[in-house]
Chains A and B, each alone.
Chain A
């Protein structure tokens, strides 16, 4: 999305049309490098790096605050209508006719089941009766789950929550907030591309991230973001034709370190290393190779 914007000269002859959301969102700002733009900020937020974008959805329903990472109501505003008041801690199931959860399914046979795993019993979707119901379904991420209702800002949408008993359903009409700062009917605000203050207040975009952020760098082997946190660097073909290279966070970073990727914790940077000296120890990768 980040186009190569030219520098804006003194008197702008071409501008941005006020209703053109794409142009505003893709605009990078004069003098701003590409990595200051959301097009280089990851969004598979678990929890995320530059931000935990999941937080923007918490107050998407007027009167409620949802968990950023689960489809559960964590707070009901005091001035919310009565029918919303008993939604606290309830799980949202459907929005405007579409489910906001997925079923988990897959082969169940567990290798070496320990005391924590139930005995193998067929498909994951058919778990034994004493398994918590939450294990076989999971809340969908908000972004994709709600994509079809964002355009209905200001309107009431039918939402279905799970009641106190598994078979019980609670149906309510919830109003979708305007995502951007443009309340329906306000002509001046039409076309603004800034996330509404009602959805994001200072600190909220980053509140569920790791503390400190360095903590994320070692844990997150599988859920990461190669542009910001590379894994496999200096990769080249080995004598058997398969790759060899280095682990980005290995301790031995000398030029003649063997091209051997290791997961042996004793050979990798530790949390303490990162807390103290991340700026010195972590190398930029240009072209997949150690640079500065």
Chain B
């Protein structure tokens, strides 16, 4: 993300203030672009940053959750590890909700979606620590507590946690994302009504489309200014920050991200009595050495070189890309808002998006059982993890048919990789059936993509004749329909239209009630 023009200042002041460690009540320090942009444009800038942050947090938390494998333990430990994992996964899902809501706000002001983010590791002036993929530990938990902490908390426990998070060393204020959203809220007041597109609602992500009963995932829509403000307030309050500084930890609502991370932190073994998390790498990656600017010891240590593991990690990158592209594609399709509007493939693409989320979870489960380095001895317990590496581009083609070509390409590439892996990983427990079902799902998805491309390309008229043969109907039934059609309805035949009997059974309760009270027979 481009933060080079982001400044934190008090209202009225235009110069940046570096090394600011103390905080006034949240909101006294405001982020802004230097030089200032028009309100709508500046809101876009800040929302872009917000989207990147939510995305990065989500991925980071997912990685942390995936480092917890309850089945390695039994009894109470298994339960507690399972609960931690669930809690962190829930928090990650909530970040996903925020990400979706931010996209909705961008839509409202007519701006494009952004699913991009900086590559790990990276630092920002918004957080006191570096974003990185790492297994759950006392240190990383401390970071997350501090990351989700509102400004102003300073009791001894918090000071201790900040030390553990090494937050003090980076010299940045605790958590500024709340301020970011607060400023977006203020900017929305300045955006004119005409610039707020109520007709964008058909494109916005809807909580009801997500399904699966997650109660606390806020995917909020905004069709006007008031709704936008409410959405911003909601996502700011859920975890990143509150608008008024609380006095102590225990003032924070129990369902805030802060409180939930704090609870895990308190429960996590501090003295190393037992190791709850699998030691997945810090920054697992498939980079070519020296290919990136932030190459470091950690990058080298996290580099996956084991031949079989590399393929699985590549597969997971591929599925991550598909997740982002399916989601992006879905959100570019308008969804019917009125009764009677035709559905589009948006629902299907969202389904595929969720499928990729499940796949990543499954793949994470495989990767933490796989060797990291080529030639690694059995006694070397290093394992791999999901690299969550971004593809070369997240841009969606302009035309619908080209988007489907991209989907086709993604699916085909994944299928060939899956086939390759299946040959090598025959012995891995559960891998076979997972890969087979993935291939099957991909095949069905590919058939839909090919069919769409086919039916929408200029030569589709020719092809559709061939596709009839492929339908697989084995017998002609023309002979039978003649007889069925030839009959005449019997006298007093019951009505054949659905509409006429539509409320029959719906009203039996009512009718039974009426009969009971009237006791009357029909004439």
A residues near B, CB below 8 A? 116, 132, 134-135, 219, 221, 234, 236-242, 251-256, 263-266, 268-273, 276-277, 280-281, 283, 287, 289-292
Proximity string of chain B (427-466) to chain A, C-beta cutoff 8 Å, 1 when within and 0 when not: 0000000000000000000011001100110001000000
Interface residue from B471, B481, B495 paired with A253 (Cβ < 8 Å): B481
Q: Mark B496-523, 1 if CB is under 8 A from A, else 0.
A: 1111110011010110010000000000
A–B Cβ pairs within 8 angstroms, 9 of them: A236-B451, A241-B344, A242-B345, A253-B480, A263-B498, A265-B498, A268-B496, A272-B490, A290-B477
Query: What's the tally of chain B residues with a CB closer than 8 Å to chain A?
Result: 45
Contact (Cβ within 8 A) A256 B484:
no
- The answer to the question of B35 belonging to the interface, with a C-beta cut-off of 8 Å to chain A, is no
Complex interface: chain A residues within 8 A of B480 (CB): 253, 277, 280-281
B478 within 8 A of A: yes
Given contact pairs A239-B452, A277-B484, A270 touches B489 in the complex (Cβ within 8 A): yes
In whole angstroms, how far apart are the Cα atoms of A46 and B345 in the complex?
A: 34
* Assembly CA distance A221 to B504 (angstroms): 12
Q: Are B498 and A236 in contact (CB under 8 A)?
A: no
**Smallest Cβ-Cβ distance to B468: which chain A residue:** A256
B173 CB to closest chain A CB (Å) equals 45
Given the contacts A255-B473, A277-B483, A134 and B498 also touching, CB distance less than 8 Å: no
User: Which residues from chain B sit less than 8 Å from chain A, CB to CB?
Assistant: 342-345, 348, 404, 447-448, 451-452, 455-456, 460, 468, 471-478, 480-481, 483-485, 487, 489-490, 493-501, 504-505, 507, 509-510, 513
Chain A nearest CB from B351 CB (Å) reads: 12
Contacts of B343 in A (CB 8 A): 242
Main secondary structure of the interface of A (DSSP, over half): loop
Asked whether, in the complex, the Cβ of B344 is within 8 Å of the Cβ of A116, the reply is: no
Assess the B489–A289 pair: CB atoms within 8 A: no
Determine if B473 and A234 form an interchain contact, defined as CB atoms under 8 angstroms apart: yes
The answer on a CB contact under 8 Å between B487 and A255 is no
Measured CB to CB, the nearest residue on chain B to A238 is B455
Residues of B within 8 A of A239 (CB): 452, 455-456, 460
* Residues A289 and B471 in contact in the complex (CB < 8 Å), given A237-B448, A241-B348: yes
CB-based closest 8 A-B pairs: A241-B345, A265-B497, A239-B455, A253-B477, A265-B496, A237-B451, A237-B448, A255-B473
**Set of chain A residues within 8 Å of B484, measured between Cβ atoms:** 251, 269, 273, 277, 280-281
A291 with B474: CB separation less than 8 A = yes
Which residue of A255, A271, A280, A287 is within 8 Å of B493 (Cβ)? A271
Residues of B within 8 A of A238 (CB): 455
Q: A237-B448, A254-B481, A276-B487 are in contact. Are A219 and B505 (CB under 8 A)?
A: yes
Q: Which of A219, A237, A264, A291 contacts B452 (CB 8 A)?
A: A237
User: Do A290 and B448 touch (CB < 8 A)?
Assistant: no
Q: A256 vs B510: C-alpha distance in the bound complex, in angstroms? A: 44
Best-surrounded residue of B483, B484, B493, B509 (most CB of chain A within 10 A)? B484
Residues of chain B within 8 A (CB-CB) of A270 are: 489, 493, 496
A22–B481 alpha-carbon span in the complex (Å): 46
Chain B residues with CB under 8 Å of A255's CB are 468, 471, 473, 475-477
Asked if B473 and A289 sit within 8 Å, CB to CB, the answer is yes
| Residues in B neighbouring A236, C-beta threshold 8 A | 451, 471
Q: Which of A234, A240, A254, A277 contacts B344 (CB 8 A)?
A: A240
Are A290 and B474 CB-contacts (below 8 A) given A237-B448, A252-B481?
Answer: yes
Question: Which residues of B are found within 8 Å of A292, using beta-carbon distances?
Answer: 474-475
Nearest A residue to B503 by beta-carbon distance? A116
**Once the chains are docked, how many angstroms separate the CA of A269 from the CA of B496?**
9
List of A residues within 8 angstroms of B477 by Cβ: 253-255, 283, 290
Q: List residues of chain B with CB within 8 A of the CB of A132.
A: 513
**Which interface residue of B342, B473, B481, B504 has the most chain A CB atoms within 10 A?**
B473
Residues in B with CB closer than 8 Å to A281 are: 480, 484
Point out which of A134, A234, A255, A266 has the most chain B C-beta atoms below 10 A from its C-beta. A255
Considering the chains assembled together, what is the distance between the CA atoms of A269 and B485 in angstroms? 9
Considering the complex, give the chain A residue whose CB is closest to the CB of B479. Answer: A280
